[in-house]
Amino acid sequence: MAILRFFLKLLSVALVLFQVGCGLMTQSSPVSKIRPGKDFLPDQTVAIAAFTNQMAEKHGFDKLALEAVFREVNRSERALQLITPDPVSKPKNWEAYRERIIDSSRIKAGVNFWKKHRRELKKAEKEYGVPAEIIVGIIGVESFYGKTKGNFRVIDVLTTLSVEYPEHPRREARMAFFRHELEQALLFARDAELDPLSLNGSYAGAIGFPQFMPGCIRQFGVDYDQDEMVDLGESPKDAIGSVANYLKKHGWVGGEEIVVQARVESVTPEQLKHFLGQGLEAKFSIAELLQDGVQIEEDVSTEQKYGLIDLQNGENPTEYWLATENFFAITKYNRSYFYAMSVVALGNAVKQARAPRLVRYRRN
C-alpha cells in the first residue's frame, strides 16, 4: 500500500508539473512561434498571439496554419502615417474638394466604365433601384474605376492598426474596429479559399473597385458575374452588384430624389441649427421646412422626408441642400456630406458626358 501511495503521489506531482508546464507553454510558445513579422514590439507580438488563439477557439482556425500566416505579416509604418489625421484642420471647402475629385480624366474613365459595364449597371438599377450614375459615382470616387485600388497587403495594415494607432480620442475603439476587420479578412479568405496574404487594398484595408472593408464584403458582397466568388479586386461586375446591394440595404428607395438645392436666408439661426443638427437621417417633412423659411425652386415630393445639409465653402457662402434618405444612404458608405455630394456630382457629370454619344447613337 505504501508503495502504491508513493506512486500515486509521484503521479500527482507529475500531473501538477505537466499542467504548469502546459500553462507556461501556452503563454510563451505563441510569442516564439509567431514572431509576427518584422518590426512589431514585444507587447504587440503578444497581442497578435492572443488574437491568433481567439481565432482558433472562436472560428476553429488551424492554429499552426494561422501562426504561419502571421510569421509573414509585417508592421506597416506607412499605414500608421497615412491614418494619422492632419494636425492642421483646414477650413472646410466643398468647391476645392469637388475640384480635386471631379476632373476631366475621372469623368472620361467613368464614361468608359459605364460603356463597358452598361448591362450590369442596368441590371443593378432594375434589381436594386439604384441609378447607374450613383454606382458609377461611388466606384469613381472610391478607386478611380479601379486605377487606385491600393497596393497594401490587407493583412499587414489591419494587423498593424489593430495593435497600434496614433493619438486619437477614440484610439481604443479604432483599434478594436481594425481587429474586427482583421477577423473578417481571415474569415473571408478562408471562405473564398484564398491565401489571406494575397489580399490587397488601401492603407486602411479597404478592398477593390468599391473599397469595401472585409466585413462589408462578407455582409454585402454580391457575386454579380456568377463565377461563384465575390471578387471586388478583379471583377467590376461584382463591384457594381455589391455597391447597389449595399445602398439598398442602407435605405435606398428606387425612383426617389436625392438632393434639391435650397436657400435659407429666411430661416432663423435657431431653426437652422435645429435642422442642421438632425444627424445622417432625413427627418423633416417638406411642409415643416418650407414653413420655417427654407426655399426651393423645384417641385418635390411631399410624401418623403428630407434633411437640410450644409456644404461649407471656406471664405465663400455655404451651399444648402435638401437631402432625402437616398442621399443619407450614400453617407452610410462614408459619413461625410462632401463625400456623398461628390458621388452625386461625379455620377451626374459622367451621365452628362455620356449623353452626346447616346444622342449620336440614336441618330445613326
Query: Does 43 participate in binding Ca ion (rule CB under 5 A)?
Result: no
Q: Which amino acid is at 185?
A: A
Residue 238 in the binding site for Ca ion (CB under 5 A): yes
Q: Cβ of residue 188: shortest distance to Ca ion, in angstroms?
A: 13
Give the chain's radius of gyration (CA, Å): 26
Measure the CA dihedral 89/348/104/86, to 10°.
10
Angle between helices 132-143 and 236-249 (to 10 degrees): 110
Is 234 among the residues that bind Ca ion (CB under 5 A)?
no
CB of 236 to Ca ion, least distance (A): 10
Place of cell 429666411: 266
Q: Looking at this protein, which amino acid is placed at residue 330? A: I
Site string for Ca ion, 124-163 (x = CB under 5 A): ----------------------------------------
Site string for Ca ion, 258-297 (x = CB under 5 A): ----------------------------------------
**What does DSSP assign to residue 85?**
P
Question: By beta-carbon distance, which residue lies closest to Ca ion?
Answer: 223
Nearer Cβ to Ca ion (228/298) = 228
Contacts of residue 20, Cβ cutoff 8 Å, sequence gap at least 6: none
In contact, 311 and 333? CB cutoff 8 Å: no
Task: State which residue, 200 or 336, has the beta carbon closest to Ca ion.
Answer: 200
Is residue 142 part of the annotated active site? The answer reads: yes
Cβ atoms 355, 115 nearer than 8 A: no
Instruction: For Ca ion, give the closer residue by CB, 196 or 236.
Output: 236
What does the DSSP assignment read for 262-331?
A: EE-TTS-HHHHHHHHTT-SS--B-HHHHHHTT-EESS---SSS-BEEEEEEETTEEEEEEEE-HHHHHHH
What is the 8-class DSSP label of residue 263?
A: E
Nearer to Ca ion, 95 or 227 (CB): 227
Q: Is 227 in the site for Ca ion (CB under 5 A)?
A: yes
Nearest approach, Cβ of 230 to Ca ion (angstroms)? 6
Residue from 67, 120, 183, 225 in contact with Ca ion (CB under 5 A)? 225
Active-site choice (142, 164, 181, 183) = 142
CB 92 within 8 A of CB 100: no
Cβ proximity to Ca ion: between 46 and 229 the closer is 229
18-26, 82-90, 228-236, 314-322 -> range binding Ca ion (CB under 5 A): 228-236
- From the list 150-158, 231-239, 313-321, 345-353, the region that binds Ca ion by CB under 5 A is 231-239
Which residues are tagged catalytic?
A: 142
Residues that bind Ca ion (CB under 5 A): 223, 225, 227, 235, 238
